[in-house]
């Protein structure tokens, strides 16, 4: 259905790149007025920033003890992507609280999320590691074009010629418009350093007030190794039409600083220059290595 399909391409929708075989313009049009409930949760990321990690944490936090929860179902069904309509899940009829994940830029999410309705968690990761993770993902995702080399991908990433467009625009958009949302910002690196503290922040922000036992259980289930071995959490059971499981793994390395194994000195200098220029009006603190 995907690679090799003549329809298979990125397409621009309101300044943001989507995938023609995954996203539909009509559905995206309808998202602006998608009815948001006060209890809705949307976890937003730029790709490869720890989306499925957050998705699994939220699934456990909300449905962990439920027979329909993540231990019996794929997390993608428990906390689906808001920008991809899955008719079988019937988003409008789902009981509250609903948990969604998303790669949408701030200006394309349902307008009900602005001021008051629903809660947003924005998870970011240092863009050098994102670039490396994204590069690998292109070669086993059936919905993205294979990349010949990291060098070629590096240029596309820096100029935003990729699915979800520019990392810089995504992050700046969410940080600089944070006043419009009830939003919690987290980073992948903080989660790697101290998952328990970050899960506690999430629990508090969402008003779940999970007790110590529940927190411990989530921390344990969400370690890299445990998620890697959990077929419901690691996307291994996702349809073959999306991922070529023989070519890679969603849980690849799970490290901070893997970019050092890929970036040349020159690429690093280029990247730093672009970063400084692009992010000068958005001074966020990132962790590049641990
Ligand atoms: P790597 O490719 O660097 O290993 P996304 O879900 O947004 O596509 O992000 C995928 C990245 O998050 C992958 O990075 C994956 O290994 C990492 N990841 C997922 N679950 C993780 C976990 N429990 N601990 C650490 N990293 C995790």
Residue range 38-86, pLDDT digits in tens = 999 999 999 999 999 999 999 999 987 564 566 677 888 889 999 998 8
Pocket test for ligand 1, best of 47, 48, 222, 258 (most atoms within 8 A of CB): 48
Q: Are the beta carbons of 137 and 150 closer than 8 angstroms? A: no
Q: What secondary structure letter does DSSP report for 262?
A: T
**pTM of the complete model:** 0.96
Q: Is the CB of 47 within 6 Å of ligand 1?
A: yes
Sign of CA dihedral 280, 51, 55, 16: positive
CB under 8 A, 24+ apart: contacts of 5-14: 8/143, 8/145, 10/162, 10/163, 14/107, 14/108
Q: Which three-class secondary structure state does DSSP give residue 189? A: helix
C-alpha 123 – ligand 1 centre gap (Å): 12
pLDDT score of 83: 97
* The pLDDT value given to residue 64: 79
Question: What was the pLDDT predicted at 162?
Answer: 97
Alpha-carbon span 199 to 276, nearest angstrom: 31
The residues near 140 (Cβ < 8 Å, ≥ 6 apart) are 243, 244, 245, 247, 248, 249
Q: What percent of the chain has pLDDT over 90?
A: 78
User: Closest residue (by CA) to atom 24 of ligand 1?
Assistant: 224
Q: What is the pLDDT of residue 6?
A: 67
| Pairing assessment for the beta strands 99-102 and 16-19 based on DSSP bridges | unpaired
Ligand 1 center from residue 40 Cα (angstroms) = 24
**Active-site amino acid positions:** 103
d(CA 55, CA 51) in angstroms, rounded, equals 6
Q: Torsions phi, psi of 52, nearest 5?
A: -75, -20
Burial (CB < 10 A; 0-12, 13-18, 19+), residue 93, is exposed
Token pair 């370690």: residue: 223
Residue with tokens 């790669």: 103
**pLDDT value, residue 70:** 67
Per-residue pLDDT of the chain (290 residues; tens, 9 = 90+): 566 676 778 999 999 999 998 899 999 999 999 999 999 999 999 999 999 999 999 999 998 756 456 667 788 888 999 999 888 889 999 999 999 999 999 999 999 999 779 999 999 999 999 999 999 999 989 889 999 999 999 999 999 999 999 999 999 999 999 999 999 999 999 999 999 999 999 999 999 989 999 999 999 999 999 999 998 888 888 877 788 888 888 999 999 999 999 999 999 999 999 999 999 999 899 999 99
| Other beta carbons within 10 Å of 96 | 8
**Closest to 259 in 3D by CA, of 285, 234, 225, 287:** 287
Complex ipTM over 0.95: yes
pLDDT at 242: 82
Helix (H/G/I), strand (E/B), else coil: 30: helix
Cβ of 55 less than 6 Å from ligand 1:
no
Please name the residue whose Cα sits nearest to atom 2 of ligand 1: 133
Domains of the chain in sequence order: 10-278 (3.40.50.300)
- Could you give the CA distance from residue 147 to residue 34 in angstroms, rounded to a whole number? 35
d(C-alpha 153, C-alpha 157), whole Å: 6
| Per-residue pLDDT at 51 | 97
How far is it, in rounded angstroms, from Cα 179 to Cα 3?
40
Alpha-carbon distance of 93 to 259, in angstroms, equals 43
Q: What are the φ/ψ torsions at residue 43 (nearest 5 degrees)?
A: -100, 120
């Amino acid at each position: 259905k995907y690679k090799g399909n003549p329809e298979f391409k990125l397409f621009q929708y309101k300044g943001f790149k989507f995938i023609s075989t995954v996203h539909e313009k009509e559905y995206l049009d309808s998202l602006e007025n998608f009815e948001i409930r006060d209890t809705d949760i949307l976890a937003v990321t730029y790709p490869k920033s720890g989306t499925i990690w957050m998705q699994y944490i939220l699934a456990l936090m909300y449905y962990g003890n439920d027979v329909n929860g993540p231990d019996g179902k794929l997390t993608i069904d428990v906390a689906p992507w808001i920008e991809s309509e899955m008719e079988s899940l019937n988003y409008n009829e789902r009981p509250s609280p609903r948990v969604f994940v998303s790669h949408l830029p701030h200006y394309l999410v349902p307008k009900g999320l602005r001021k008051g309705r629903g809660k947003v968690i924005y998870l970011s990761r240092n863009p050098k590691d994102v670039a490396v993770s994204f590069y690998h993902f292109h070669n086993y995702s059936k919905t993205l074009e294979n990349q010949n080399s990291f060098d070629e991908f590096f240029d596309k990433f820096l100029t935003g010629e990729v699915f979800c467009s520019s990392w810089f625009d995504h992050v700046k958009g969410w940080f600089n418009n944070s006043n419009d949302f009830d939003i919690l910002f987290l980073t992948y690196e903080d989660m790697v350093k101290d998952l328990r503290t970050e899960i506690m922040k999430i629990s508090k922000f969402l008003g779940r007030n999970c007790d110590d036992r529940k927190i411990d259980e989530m921390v344990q289930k969400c370690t890299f190794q445990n998620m890697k071995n959990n077929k419901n959490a690691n996307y291994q059971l996702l349809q073959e039409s999306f991922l070529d499981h023989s070519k890679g793994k969603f849980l690849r390395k799970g490290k901070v600083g893997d970019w050092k194994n890929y970036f040349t000195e020159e690429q690093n200098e280029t990247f730093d220059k672009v970063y400084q220029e692009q992010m000068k009006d958005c001074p966020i603190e990132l962790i590049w290595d641990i």
